[in-house]
Amino acid sequence: MARADQDWSVGTTYFPDPDAVGIPDPTQRGWPAIRRAWRRGWGVLVRVSRPIARLRWRQKIALAMALTIVTTSAWIYFGPASLANNPPLQNAFLYDRNGRLLAELMPEENRVVVPLSRVPKVVQDAFIAAEDERFWSHPGVDPLAIGRALIADIRGGRQGASTITQQYVKNTFVGNERTFGRKVREAILAMRIDRRYPKKKVLAAYLNSIYLGQGAYGVEAASRLYFDRHVSFLTLPQAALLAGITSAPSLYSPRVNLSGALKRRDHVIERMLLLRLITADQASAALSTPIRLAKPKPRPVPAPMFVDWAKKSLAEEVGEDAVYRGGLKVTTSLDLDAQEAAEDAIADLLPDEDDPDVSVVSIDTSTGAVRVMVGGRNKHLGDFNLATQGHRQAGSAFKPFVLAAALEAGKKLGDTYHAPSSIRLKYKGVSWRLSNYDHYGYGRLSLRRALAYSVNTVYAQLIRDVGPPKVIDVAHRLGFRSSLSDILPLALGTSPVTPLEMASAYAAFDNKGAWLRPSGVEKVVDQNDEVLFNGERDPKVAIPADVADEVKDALRSVAEYGTASRVRLKHFDVYGKTGTTEAHADAWFVGFAGGIVTAVWMGYPKSNKPMTSVHGVKVTGNSFPARIWERTMESLLLRSPTFQNDERKSKAKPSPAPAQSFGPTTAPEPSTEPEPSPTSGGFPIIIPTLR
C-alpha cells in the first residue's frame, strides 16, 4: 500500500494512492466529489499535525493530558447515564381472583421495590449517617472522604470512601473487582448519575438495591425479613440496625451475629446524633432498646399445587424472564373460598391419615380458567401434583368420549345395542371378554340409556364399531396429552389420564364443542401498572357443536336417573358421569353445572389398592367423589356473580350434602369476615420501579 509522507522542511505533501486504500474507481459515478473530499480531509489533517509535530515532548505530554481531561469532563457532563442497567430482580405476587394473597414468588434475590415516599425519613437518615454524611452536597464522589481514605492508607489503616451513589454504581454496573480501573469507572459513572438525576431518586435507587443479608435486597425486603413489617413502620432502632448491616451483610446480619449487629446499630445511632439527625433523648431511648427480631417462619401457601402449576402458566403467558423482572401483580383464576371448601370436604369425609388420596380440579367451561386445584391431601410446594401428574385409569368416566366419536361418525343417541351381562369381542386379532359392573343384562338399550346406566357391554361394542383410533383422535382434540392405547378396553378408561385432562375435556361438552387450554392466570400487571396479559384466550373447535350438545344431553340423563342420580345441586341442572375401575382402585365423578366443570378422583396414588371398605363403604364414583363434587360446586356456584344477580338468590342457601352412611357431610359455614384487599396494609404492595 502506498504511504503518505511529509517533507516538513518544504511542506510538500504526498497523498496516498486512492486505489491502494480501497477508494472506488474514478470511472464510477460520483468519483470526482469523493476524490475532492479525500484530498481536503487529508490536507486538513496535515495542517493540524504540523504545529503539533514542532512541539517539544513535554509540551506534547501536557497537551495530551489536557485533551484527556477535557474529553473525560465532556463525557462525564454530556454522556448518557441511567439509574438502571437491567431491571432488578423483584418478587412477584400471586392473588386469587378475589384479591386474596396466595403466594410471593421470590427469585434468588428477595427484592420488593418501594418509592422513597414509603421510606421514613428516619430510615433515610440512618443510611446517610452510616454510609455518606455529605450525600446531599457532593457531586457523586466525596473528595473529603477520598482524602481521609488516602491518609488512612498511608498510615496503614483502612477507611472507606465510597459514596451512596458509588455504592449503587458498584452494585448495579461495575461489580466488586478490586482494580484501579474499576474504581475510576465507578467514580465517573457516579458523577454522571449525580448530574443527571435528583438526589432523592438516587437515594431511592440505592435503598432498593442495597444487599442487607439473608438474601434480602433493599430496605423493604429486609424490613419484612427481620421485623415482619413494611419499611414505612420501622422505628429508629430498627432503621439503625438495617443501616449498620450494609458494611458487611454476611458478618452483621442479626440472624448470624446478634452482638455484632447490636454494636453496628449503636454506632449508627451515635453517628445520627453527631450529625444532629436525632436528639439526645431519641438516641438514649434507641440505645437502650433491645433488638427484637421476627421469628423466621415459613409462610403457609394456600393451594400449593395450584401455585406451582400457575407459575408455569405465568411463564407461558409473559415469558420466564419477565416473571422476576417486572415486579408483577398476578391475578390468578383460583377461587380460594371454593378451594378451601373442597379441601374441607375432603378432610371431613376422609379424616384418617391412611384414607385414600383425592384430587379435585374445577374449570370455567367458557374461559378455561382453573377455579380449584387440589393436587392431593396435605400437599406442599414442590410435591407431586395429582391433578396434573397423577395418571390414573378413568373407568366409565371415559365413555362420553366414545359417545362423541360415535356421534361424529353418524350414530344417534337413540340407536340401540344388545346389552348382555357379559360379552366377548375381538379387535386386531386380540380377544377381549368383559362384563357389566353389576353383572346384569339389560336386553337392548339406546346409547343414551347405556351411558346413564354405565353399561360396559354396549360401549365395548360401540368402540369396536367406531374404532379406537377415532376415539383417540376425539380425545386428543379435547385436550388429552396422555398416551391412549389403540385397544377396545379404552372404552372403559383403561388408559391412565389426569384429573386436569378430564375436567378440561368435559368443559368442551358445555361449551358447544370449543376447547380452551386450561390456565391459572387471568391478569398480569407490571410495576408500571401496564397490563401484560388480560386473560383472553382463543378457543379451538374440537368437536361439532351439535355433537357436544348431544353428549351434554346424555350426561344429564346420567344425573337424572342413572348412576349419578344421587348427585344434586339446588337451582342447577347437573351433567356428569361416574367412573369406577376394576377392584375399586380408582373412583371418579366428573360433571358440570352453571358453567363450571369439576373432576374428582379418589384412590391410592402409589398403588392400585382396592377401596372396598373405606369407613365401611365400597367406594364408587357416586360415593365420596360425588359428595366432594357437590360441596365444591356449591361453593363455586352459589357465590358466582351470575347466581348472585339472579332472583333465586334470596331463596338459595348452601345445603349440606344428604346424610350418608359413609362419613360426615355437614358443609362448612361461609365466612362472615370481610376479605382483605390486596392493597391493604396486611399485604405486600408492588410499587413501580424507580428509574
Question: What is the C-alpha to C-alpha distance for residues 220 and 120, in angstroms, rounded to an integer?
Answer: 11
Clarify whether 396 is annotated catalytic: yes
Res 48: pLDDT = 66
Q: Report in angstroms the alpha-carbon separations of 241 from 109, 223, 260, 265, 267.
A: 21, 10, 10, 4, 9
In angstroms, the CA 529 to CA 649 distance is: 36
Sign of CA dihedral 36, 42, 48, 50: negative
Alpha-carbon gap, residue 239 to 126, rounded angstroms: 6
Q: Are 213 and 223 in contact (CB under 8 A)?
A: no
The whole-number pLDDT of residue 191 equals 87
Task: Tell me which DSSP letter residue 569 carries.
Answer: B
For residue 67, give the C-alpha cell.
485533551
Per residue in 256-300, pLDDT (tens digit) is: 899 999 999 999 999 999 999 999 999 999 999 999 999 876 667
Q: For residues 682 and 158, give the distance between their C-alpha atoms in angstroms, rounded to a whole number.
A: 44
Q: What is the pTM of this model?
A: 0.68
The 10 Å CB-count burial string (b at 16+, else e) for 67-96 is eeeeeeeeebeeeebebeeebbbbbbbbbb
SS3 category, 177: coil
Q: Which residues of the chain have pLDDT under 70?
A: 1-31, 33-34, 38, 42, 44-50, 52-55, 60, 69-88, 108-109, 145-161, 174-179, 181-182, 297-299, 320-321, 325, 639-691
Q: Does residue 131 carry a catalytic annotation? A: yes
* DSSP class of 57: H
Query: Residue 644: its pLDDT value, please?
Result: 54
What pLDDT does residue 82 have?
61
Active-site residue, from 131, 186, 220, 550: 131
Write down the pLDDT at residue 537: 84
- Quote the CA–CA distance of 468 and 18 in Å, as a whole number: 79
pLDDT tens digit string along 384-415?
Answer: 999 999 999 999 999 999 999 999 999 999 99
Element (H, E) at 374: strand 370-374
Among 209, 362, 396, 454, the one annotated catalytic: 396
- Find the largest Cα–Cα distance for the chain: 123
For the chain, domains (ranges, CATH) are: 92-287 (1.10.3810.10), 304-392+498-691 (3.40.710.10), 395-495 (3.40.710.10)
